[in-house]
Structures are given as structure tokens and as C-alpha cells.
Amino acid sequence: MPDRMQHHRMEVHPKYPELKTFVASIPLRFERGEGEIIYKGRNELRRMEYQGNSYVVKSFRRPHLLNRFVYGTLRASKAKRAYYNGLELLQIGVPNPLPIGYVEVRAGLLFDKSFLITAMSHCPYTWKDLFVQDFSYKEQVVREVGKLTALLHNHGIALKDYSRGNILFREEDGQVRLEVVDLNRMYRGKISMNRGCKNLERLPSTPEMHRWLAEEYAQARGYDVETCLNLIQTYRSRQHDLIDGKY
């Protein structure tokens, strides 16, 4: 599609107006191949530098033709949803990399691509690292995830991509800090005990980890621990990504 037929829509966090030029330049920077590739699959993550600071830019894959029309006229783009979802989560105390802005590239009524720009995460590890490294504070990480999940659910929010690569953590001064990413898909509504426990099904866990999760989640939501534990283990056992057939 010729550049002259394209136009951009963008938004930048009101606290960072000085980043408007950078955000506006993201589509061109991606086209030029700028930045360090962090992940490349259906979508692509790159680390980019601007005025001495590092940012993460997520490029969402171009949708098929029908969705290009839907996103172009009727529905918010994935980047826009992720931006506003991130801001909403910060307001209720759910940490995630600070949303800086987003850009949408359109050609007439057709949507083309979208980009989300966030601050760099300060968390070097993800949930899946709990199975490849030894952490002296592993139990604390798992329990904090149980508490964080309950916080989300008590606010009527469930992350639809709540998986091993989207829960980040670090240890700092004896405290575990968490962040969640991949926020463009969220369920909003009343979250029952069954729905809440099912939301944990994509997290590989040992039986011990399941108990830690259940104890913290149940306590924060006023549920019975054993009932939550049974539900969490049942939903997890139905997944096809078990580790060594037991996690």
C-alpha cells in the first residue's frame, strides 16, 4: 500500500508529551528494522532507545481482510486495548510496564497494523523460569501470584492470556515484585470461584505450587482452600502443555 494512502492514529500518555515524536515514528522505525528483537512470532517485540531511555515496542500482526475492516471502523485495535487496559490495571494496583502510547496505521477504512509502546519491565524472570532455575524465594513468587490473581478477580477482571510467559517477577530487598503483560484481552464481569480457578489453568505448577496458589487465592476471596485447590488441579490437568506429564 503506498505511503501516501496511509494515515496514522496515535495516543501518548498525557504525562509524557515529549515522547509524541518518538511514538509517531514507530511504524517507520519498524520498517527500517530498528531496535533489538526481543521476541518474534505472531507478534513482534523490540527494544528501542530514545533520548537515553529504553522502551518496548510491540507490533501486532496485520489481521485478515475482514478484521481489517472491523478494526478500521468498529472495534479498537489490540494496541489501543492493551494501552487502556494497562492504565486501568495500574489504577487498581496491578503492576505492568507503564503504557506510553500506541499507534495505528490505516489505509482508508482498512486497518493495517498497530503498535504498543511501554516502558521497559524491571522484572527479568517469568513464571516459566521457576522450572529452569532455582529461586530461594520461589514460594513467595507463587503466593504473590495467588494474591494478585485474587485482586484482579475481586475487581471483576480476568486476564485471558494469563500464561507462563506473561507473569514477570523479580526480588528486591527481600520483596517479590510482579508485573503482568499481554493485556489486550481481558474479561470483565462477575468472576465466580469456578471461573477464577479456571483462569489459572495455563500456569504449570507442581502440587506444592498449586497449594500455595490455592491458599492465597482462597484467603483473599473468602473461599475454602481445599475446594479451590481441587478446582485448580482439575482445570490444570485438562491442559495439553503439562511438563513431564505432571505439572
Which domain-ending residue is among 104, 119, 134?
A: 119
Same domain, 96 and 143: no
pTM assigned to the model: 0.90
Q: How far apart are CA 239 and CA 247, in angstroms?
A: 10
What is the three-class DSSP state of 127? Answer: helix
Which domain-ending residue is among 65, 99, 119?
A: 119
Residue 230 in this model has a pLDDT that exceeds 90: yes
pLDDT of residue 247: 44
Across the chain, mean pLDDT equals 90
pLDDT of residue 66: 55
Phi, psi at 115, each rounded to 5°: -135, 135
pLDDT of residue 198: 98
Which domain-ending residue is among 85, 119, 153?
A: 119
How many Cα atoms sit within 13 Å of 65 on the Cβ side? 0
| Alpha helix segments (H runs only) across the chain | 20-24, 26-31, 65-73, 78-91, 138-154, 193-198, 207-221, 225-237
Number of domains in the chain: 2
Same domain, 115 and 131: no
pLDDT of residue 244: 42
Nearest C-alpha neighbor of 155 from the set 113, 120, 194, 186: 186
Nearest C-alpha neighbor of 126 from the set 202, 221, 195: 202
Who wins on pLDDT, 65 or 122?
Answer: 122
Residue 100 structural domain = 3-119
pLDDT tens sequence across 183-224: 999 999 999 999 999 999 999 999 999 999 999 999 999 999
pLDDT tens sequence across 51-95: 999 999 999 976 555 555 555 455 678 999 999 999 999 999 999
Phi, psi at 53, each rounded to 5°: -115, 155
What are the cell numbers at 55?
Answer: 522502551
